[in-house]
A and B are shown apart, each in its own frame.
Chain A
């Protein structure tokens, strides 16, 4: 791949990489920094790569590692949690069930959700639902699902107990499911 092609491919990828980094880090300048570092690393080592598909996968894997490093570095600082948002999610999840733990409203079916994956508007709603998720459950969910870390590793990084980790993942999944159900599948 020529240098110009490489530059063009990387520039085309940049907005997506930035959105991804921003979802993970929730901080504009930190996202800019990791994307910048990942693109530089890609540029320096790109000689070995052929074709845009493998290049983008590779740049993404570099970015993923940079984000994990950044989270590790930051995990020594407390998460800037918005207590109100954390409590609001906890309550909205608790409100899904009655005192006996049964659904207050039986969840509606989503039809054929796979078809949504092909729709651009779905991804905007998906990102919006991730952005409004409270910081702590969002952080654990992102580390687990987007960065592919095992829960043991996540607990260690964030210095939380395993059971707390599972509670946060449960809450994140129920919250996201509720948001997508309300903002996308109920509309579709």
Chain B
């Protein structure tokens, strides 16, 4: 099972490249059981949203 550290790394990389099938599966399984990582995923997504808003001139 993926650790939280690895899961956040996968989530971060998922914002920069396409994850492989195996990586996505491992991440999904981890997220099923980990509330902290589910929150982090939402917060990473929010960071991107905030930057997009910030750079909308």
Q: Quick one: which of A56, A146, A166 contacts B9, CB cutoff 8 A?
A: A166
Inter-chain contact B3/A166, CB cutoff 8 Å? no
Does more than half of chain B's interface fall in helix, strand or loop, or is it mixed? Answer: helix
Interface bits B15-57 vs A (CB < 8 Å: 1, else 0): 1110000000000000000011101101110111111011101
User: A20-B55, A169-B16 are known contacts. Are A126 and B39 too (CB-CB below 8 A)?
Assistant: no
The tally of residues in A whose CB lies under 8 Å from a CB in B reads 37
Q: Is A109 an interface residue (CB 8 A)?
A: yes
Nearest CB on A from B16, distance (A): 5
Q: A97-B3, A101-B6 are in contact. Are A110 and B47 (CB under 8 A)?
A: no
- CB <8 Å contact, B36 and A123: no
Q: Is the CB of B12 within 8 A of A173?
A: yes
Interface size on B, residues (CB 8 A): 29
> Shortest beta-carbon distance, B51 to chain A, in Å?
4
Measured between C-beta atoms, what is the minimum distance from B48 to chain A in Å? 6
Q: In the complex, what residues of A have CB within 8 A of residue B42's CB?
A: 110
Tell me the A104-160 residues at the B interface (CB within 8 Å): 106-110, 113-114, 117, 123, 126, 144-146, 150-151
- B5's nearest neighbour on chain A, judged by CB, is A101
Alpha-carbon separation in the docked complex, A113 to B47 (Å): 10
Choice from B5, B16, B39, B47 contacting A97 with Cβ under 8 Å = B5
A101-B6, A145-B51, A177-B43 known; A13 vs B57 contact (CB < 8 Å): yes
A interface residues (Cβ-Cβ under 8 A, vs B)? 13, 16, 20, 56-57, 59-60, 96-97, 100-103, 106-110, 113-114, 117, 123, 126, 144-146, 150-151, 166, 169-170, 173-174, 176-177, 180-181
Interface CB pairs A-B, < 8 A, 17: A97-B3, A97-B5, A102-B3, A107-B36, A108-B39, A109-B39, A110-B39, A114-B46, A117-B53, A126-B54, A145-B47, A145-B51, A150-B16, A169-B16, A173-B8, A174-B8, A181-B43
Q: B residues engaging A (CB < 8 A)?
A: 3-6, 8-9, 12-13, 15-17, 35-37, 39-40, 42-44, 46-51, 53-55, 57
